[in-house]
Amino acid sequence: MSQTRAEELIERYTSDDRRLTCANAHKIAAKLQVTPEEIGALTREMDIRISACDLGQFGNQPLGTFREDVYRDAKDIADEHGRIYCKNARLLARRSNLKTVRTALLEGGIDVVYCQLGCFTQKRRSRWYVRTKTWIENQNGELLFGKGKTEVLEAIAEHGSVEAAADALGMSRERAWEHIRLLQRNIEDPLVEGEDPLTLTTKADVLLRAYRQLKQEIEDFADRRFKELILKERGQKTSAPPAEPASQMFTEQSA
């Protein structure tokens, strides 16, 4: 099979953002009767990224029902470190399906190594994230502004009453009114007005916008410093070793 034909199929299945799903890459390999390694190498030459790993190593693929028998089979062919080769995991999927194997691997904590498409050799390290919570309280430690109270105000603006807002949030109506009363005790200007519908005052709109901006700026700062201070210390991810050029592979096969 010529490299031109392979490139045509890859382009056909590639999305507008230059991504080719793992499933489609393997489909192309089977159609052309070449190895997944060859397709993976060619996608790298074409500057196309593989997405949505069938085995759940990247991309948010859906999970199914955990099956103990599939998990045991995966454990049986895993190495002494509890890792399974991509090729062996895909062979295992022939007894059931990829979704079932993906579920067993992820929920059973079995690592996958040596992607057939060359996306990774060793399993990627766990990813770290920084999380922040921002709230405003008074001198007595009473929470004035935070996630719960802003959600109540936003729901009132959307639904036109405290009762409807509480129902939409899955919150008791008394709890929703407690949020409003506590805010009102600490803020001189009224936050809601009218009756049917109940609407937010200009003061409430200003406070909501200011809180959202404050929260976003804190998150952005924390994320930036987290990358500088923590992720930098972890070092960069190790990329897979250079593969043989796809053009050479196809030339040798078709010779």
- Spans of the chain, pLDDT less than 70: 1, 122-127, 233-255
Q: What is the pLDDT of residues 94-145, one digit of tens each?
A: 999 999 999 999 998 898 999 999 998 765 456 677 889 999 988 888 888 8
Give the H or E element holding residue 49. strand 49-51
With contact defined as beta carbons under 8 Å apart, do 166 and 176 qualify?
Answer: yes
Residue 182, φ and ψ in degrees, nearest 5: -65, -40
Residues 6 or more apart in contact with residue 16 via CB below 8 angstroms: none
Q: Are strands 83-85 and 49-51 parallel, antiparallel or unpaired?
A: unpaired
- The domain spans of the chain are 3-52, 68-125, 136-231
Helical packing angle, 173-186 and 147-159, nearest 10°: 110
What's the topology of domain 136-231? Arc Repressor Mutant, subunit A (1.10.10)
Q: What is the pLDDT of residue 230?
A: 84
Q: What is the pLDDT of residue 131?
A: 84
